[in-house]
Structure 1
Amino acid sequence: MQFHDLKTSSTTSLKLSEMGFGGAPLGNMHRALSEEEAQATLRAAIDAGVTYFDTAPLYGHGLSETRFGEALRPMPRESYQLSTKIGRTLEPCAPGEEDAGIFVDVPHVRPVYDYSYDGVMRSYEDSLKRMGVDSVDILYIHDVDIWTHGSKEASDQRIEEVMAGGYKAMEALKASGDIAAIGAGVNEWEVCQRLTELGDFDCFLLAGRYTLLEQEALNSFLPICEKRNIGIVLGGPYNSGILATGAVEGAIYNYHPAPPDIMARVAAIGRVCDAHGVSMASAALQFPLAHPAVVSVIPGAMSPDEVTRNIATLEAKIQSAFWADLKSEQLLHPGAPTP
């Protein structure tokens, strides 16, 4: 496993494993996992050399954080890097009122948006208690994007709220040494770019949006990150699945059934993959890491076997001719760095 430096000041940095562990699946995303399954999956990642673990209160309404804590607490704190997120507090509720969304069998709490100073401090302290740890390395603002809130106006309002309150709390936590880095975890690079104009961010966790299918971020956002030493953690490297499954019937792209134009583009990428004997999943996982701003990719896993497959996918050999052919077929941005 290789490691990349995430700059947290002019003189300090965190070392993140190039493959991290995304914690949403361990929050019982779409299906329930037993505690034994969850812990075996985390242990497989740890044994494989993964040292960066990302979670959030939203993931299983605290369940993912609790499971992470169970696995990580026995380990020396300096042996792993941990991130969680703020923007929602978890409030007790009656059974059936959890508003669980894509998560199942969650505790009887519901997420309530709160981007205020006090809300962020409370969310942070609650996360530490759930995980049973004294600190996290990276604290992300969670979901101030259009995808989550439904419109640019609503997104702008949440950004205004967090920059007026919660961001100041994060600055205080960093100044006191409680956290090492401030970031935001969102679904749109445009929101990240706006945040670079409003605050001093160390990193962004971008769900998709710089993948084998999408490279618009190369035109303006990623150059800003490179210039300012802002690290990118890339979630959703498979664009919700289609870059792992290929253009099969029912393929999912960014959480929805893939539209015809995306299916056609993925099919074309698949033909180049077949010509070179390359797994599309390997290409999808390795591509983002070639950009100097990208410090880690964090595919999720729900079993030890999935962890093993992710590692093998990351380490598969891909020849430079494959990337050249993708560019010659106009299936990859001509300026995209490649492995």
Structure 2
Amino acid sequence: MDENASRPVFARRRIGRTPLEITTLGLGGATLAGNFTAVPAEQARATVSRALEAGITYFDTAPQYGYGRSEHFVGDALRFRREGTVLSTKVGRLLRPVRSESERTYPHGWVDPFPFEQVYDYSYDAVMRSVEDSLQRLGLAAVDILYVHDIGAMTHGVEGNKPLWKQLEAGGYRALEELRRHNVVSAIGLGVNEWEVLMEALELGEWDVFLLAGRYTLLEQTSLDPFLSACVARGASVVVGGPFNGGALMGTGMWNYAKAPEHVVRRVHELEAVCAEFGVPIGAAALQFPLAHPAVCNILPGPKSPAELDGILAWWETAIPEPFWDALAQRGLVAAGAPLPNGKVAG
């Protein structure tokens, strides 16, 4: 039997104006690091391997995820299967060693993190050092995409973000641009949970791709305009992280890393009702909806096991009837102007 016969067929989309092309489904590496739930090392590696076997070519990780744990496991799985893959990691947090949990400054939800603590630094020297540190943790000679990680008011507060933004303006962006110009990386961008800071970034320089988590999903389209429209105009791509809004669309009651507020719970119930009416798994709708936007190049869920990934692959291949998307639009459950997977635009 042909071992590829049961593989999903993934479309590929280009990253901005770069030569990079990626499958429209990717694998996020945060959950693999043990985000609130323990993930054994072999399970993490097996999840990346299963994604490779399924034909997924885009993988994302970051120093913050398990304080090096995710980069380590992703590197283990990709090290001898790197050809044809696209790998992103992030800058903005350096890691310093700690000898005990009492030495940590920041609260965290990682289970069994590596013995390091994060140090926020978006300066020129820190960006350069962060890249070298990541390559060592990955055990690889290169990455393809670098994102500036979690800069903005959501992470640092309005006042706390100001000096960090100055670091990026004064030197961090220059470091990224040099790395791109000298072909050390192929693309640069930001990876955040708020679209507003990305509008500021568009004023700072030329970016290839943004990883935006949770702000353009079946549940929430707050970034539709002006951000996504600006990306289309500028030729920048968007990777949609957190397509399930941190579990809200999976019935966990969570949203933005905390308990979902009542208005979010109500909206989820309304979406679930339409899904039930048409016999559509809400997970399938959540994965397929954002790809209709021309700025979006990839959907990036974060399964923590091969079994969870197989469930995502099944949703990915679920045929959704065109009237389902019409019903969402007619009932005001997606924002006016949002492109729909049936080729229409929500009115």
Aligned residue in 1 for 2:6: none
The question of whether the paired residues in 1 share the 8 Å contact of 2:92 and 2:122 is answered with: yes
TM-score (norm 1): 0.95
List aligned pairs for 1:127-138, cutoff 5 A. 127-138=134-145
Classify the secondary structure of the residue corresponding to 2:83: helix
Q: Which residue, 293, 296, 303 being the options, matches 1:294?
A: 296
Aligned residue in 1 for 2:171: 165
List aligned pairs for 1:98-113, cutoff 5 A. 98=104, 99=106, 101-113=108-120
The question of whether the paired residues in 1 share the 8 Å contact of 2:192 and 2:211 is answered with: yes
Structure 2 residues without counterparts, runs of 5 or longer: 1-9, 342-347
Within the alignment, does 1:117 sit opposite 2:142 as a pair?
Answer: no
Within the alignment, does 1:140 sit opposite 2:142 as a pair?
Answer: no
Classify the secondary structure of the residue corresponding to 1:338: coil
Classify the secondary structure of the residue corresponding to 2:131: helix
Classify the secondary structure of the residue corresponding to 1:13: coil
Aligned residue in 2 for 1:309: 311
Q: Which residue, 83, 88, 97 being the options, matches 2:93?
A: 88
Equivalent residues, number: 330
Classify the secondary structure of the residue corresponding to 1:212: coil
How far apart are 1:100 and its partner, in Å?
5.8
Classify the secondary structure of the residue corresponding to 1:174: helix
Structure 1 residues without counterparts, runs of 5 or longer: none
Classify the secondary structure of the residue corresponding to 1:301: coil
How far apart are 1:101 and its partner, in Å?
0.2
Identical counterparts, % of pairs: 47
After superposing the two structures, state which structure 1 stretch, 201-210 or 161-170, moved more: 161-170
The question of whether the paired residues in 2 share the 8 Å contact of 1:100 and 1:110 is answered with: no
Q: Following TM superposition, where does structure 1 have runs of at least 4 consecutive aligned residues deviating by more than 6 angstroms?
A: none
After superposing the two structures, state which structure 1 stretch, 33-42 or 300-309, moved more: 33-42
Within the alignment, does 1:258 sit opposite 2:260 as a pair?
Answer: yes
Aligned residue in 1 for 2:248: 242
| Structure 2: distance between partners of 1:332 and 1:107 | 41
Cα-to-partner distance string for 1:171-219 (whole Å, 9 max, x where unaligned): 1111111000010001101111110011111110001100112112112
AA matched with 1:332: V
How far apart are 1:78 and its partner, in Å?
3.5
| Structure 2: distance between partners of 1:73 and 1:205 | 24
Within the alignment, does 1:208 sit opposite 2:214 as a pair?
Answer: yes
Cα-to-partner distance string for 1:55-111 (whole Å, 9 max, x where unaligned): 000001101001111110101x43100000000111111211244601121121111
The question of whether the paired residues in 2 share the 8 Å contact of 1:206 and 1:232 is answered with: yes
Aligned residue in 1 for 2:339: 337
Aligned residue in 2 for 1:188: 194
After superposing the two structures, state which structure 1 stretch, 25-34 or 225-234, moved more: 25-34
RMSD, aligned CA: 1.2
Cα-to-partner distance string for 1:249-284 (whole Å, 9 max, x where unaligned): x61111111111111111111111111111111111
The question of whether the paired residues in 2 share the 8 Å contact of 1:60 and 1:100 is answered with: no
Classify the secondary structure of the residue corresponding to 2:20: strand
| Structure 2: distance between partners of 1:308 and 1:282 | 12
Cα-to-partner distance string for 1:30-73 (whole Å, 9 max, x where unaligned): 12222211111111111111110000000011010011111101
Q: Which residue, 149, 155, 160 being the options, matches 1:154?
A: 160
TM-score (norm 2): 0.92
Aligned residue in 1 for 2:344: none
Classify the secondary structure of the residue corresponding to 1:85: strand
Aligned residue in 2 for 1:197: 203
| Structure 2: distance between partners of 1:28 and 1:213 | 25
The question of whether the paired residues in 1 share the 8 Å contact of 2:64 and 2:118 is answered with: yes
